[in-house]
Amino acid sequence: MTKEYRLPPFDLRLAMDTLAAKDPQLATLIKETEEFRIEADGSGSPYEILLEAIAYQSISGKAAATIFARVKALGSNGRIPTPEEMLKLRKPALRKAGLSGAKVLAMKDLAQKTIDGVVPTLEQAERLSDEELVERLVSVRGIGAWTVEMFLIFRLGRPDVLPIHDLGVKKGWAITYGKKHMPTPKQLLAFGERWRPYRTVASWYMWRACQRAGNAAMRKILPAKVRKRPKQTATRAKTRRGNTS
């Protein structure tokens, strides 16, 4: 089943014009590649979206879809188990569906934190800031910042999210700006200041840069350079320890 997409809730034309005026390399991508879109079905609750994200972690999409369909079948009327149902489900039943032990624990923690109000409803999520949502959702076992960032970008359509650990964004940056190495997360964060307040849209075009360049070009991009700290001389090391003998 192919996903459908829609325009984000912010002024996309203003975002693209602003980025193009600030950044000539982005201007080319904006002109020659497809526009930013978010998923059309943005009605799922954070609980439902994160439950699916947990199922899809670290395995192929096809296998994950099969496993998640089995998890859904454990709920009432063929729907995703509610948080209350998830807590009542026995671990063996979830393991039989194909979930790892770690994913079972993550799903149950997600259910408990939803009941406790840590994980908000969709209506509450739409009123919370990006920072508040990240802080709340990463407290769930097995949910990292990247998963929350994808939720912010593709479900809520937040305009200023920069996934600094995303491989596609880092490789797209190297391709777009003619670099041999990917940036470190810290370097990408600093560079991305020029893209505010539309870092989401800039990230989208980094992904498009990868798509346009192709796998062969992607494979040529080297890991980020990590600066090595200079070795201390024996004398300097002794001096720092207060030993000058």
If we measure between CA atoms, which residue out of 113, 112, 93, 91 comes closest to residue 102? 91
Question: Rounded to 10 degrees, what is the CA torsion of 46, 156, 25, 192?
Answer: -70
C-alpha to C-alpha distance for 164 and 240, rounded to whole angstroms: 36
Number of H helices, E strands in the chain: 15, 2
How many Å from the N-terminal Cα to the C-terminal Cα in the chain?
Answer: 74
- Please indicate whether residue 166 is annotated as part of the active site: yes
HEC profile of 78-100? HCCCCHHHHHHCCHHHHHHCCCC
Catalytic residues: 166
